[in-house]
Amino acid sequence: MILHKGPDSEFFVDAIIATSKSYGIIVNSFYELESVFLNYWNQNFNPRAWCVGPLCLAKTPSQPDQEKPTWLQWLDQKQSEGRSVQYVAFGTQAEIPAEQFREIAIGLEKSNFEFLWAVRTKPGMELEDGLEKRVKEMGMVVREWVDQRVILEHDSVRGFLSHCGWNSVTESKVPILAWPMMAEQHLNARMVVEEIKIGLRVETADGTVRGFVKWEGLKKMVKVLMEGERGKNLRKNVKELGDMARKAIEEGGSSGKTLDLLIDDVNT
């Protein structure tokens, strides 16, 4: 890895040095998922890693105290109609080029599947005039803050088009259509698709993992995820993994035991 001089590289180096000198690394995952890597790391490297997650399951999803937000009302309506929704979100840091942003909008519109799209308003990321009006019965675009975990827990949601940030992966209760964009997201996407098999990759124009995604390829993979046989198998895998994760954080589960060991170790 080549690091160019500057604040970013200095921060990166400082973080590595601080981590190497720390008492341990707390990992937002659980032993049953990470056992091979965790055992290898703890036998060969320092500091020790401790899996105490998934942390998102340690708290029940919050429910609105007052009137339900419009996006939750919309999901409730789709559930009452027996419709399946795809949730679309790419986190808060990814910079999506304007041309790619337009392809996403076209692909979602032409997929003919209901979608809830959480969009950050930024220059170059404006939707085509008339798009929201055309898809108002099929899709909803939300620019306000949304509670992602509440959305992913909703019974109407059947798929998640995601950048594969780790928090999003652990929060998802549905198959993921993986579209990694930066940082560790490519590793997360590989794990999601190839290792634990709870998702598919988007189809890029040139076949590379970082290539441009045309609307035709997005439409194709949305269809596979939402109604194909592969999507059905993925939902089974998601359920099995979710059950395993919930057991890990329950009393007597692997994450609870690990947290107790960590506390005892620190106090020794």
pLDDT in tens, the chain (268 residues): 455 677 878 888 888 899 889 999 999 999 999 999 999 999 999 999 999 999 999 876 666 567 889 999 999 999 999 999 999 999 888 788 889 998 999 999 999 999 999 987 666 566 666 777 787 778 999 988 899 999 999 999 999 999 999 999 999 999 999 999 988 999 999 999 999 999 999 999 999 888 999 999 999 999 999 987 888 899 999 999 999 999 999 989 999 999 999 999 988 8
- Judging by DSSP bridges, how do beta strands 139-142 and 85-89 pair with one another? unpaired
CA distance 121 to 58: 31
Name which CATH class applies to 70-245: alpha beta
Full-model pTM: 0.89
Residues of the chain with CATH 3.40.50.2000: 70-245
Exposed, middle or buried by CB within 10 Å (0-12, 13-18, 19+), for 62?
Answer: exposed
Q: What is the pLDDT of residue 244?
A: 95
Burial of 160 (0-12, 13-18, 19+ CB in 10 A): buried
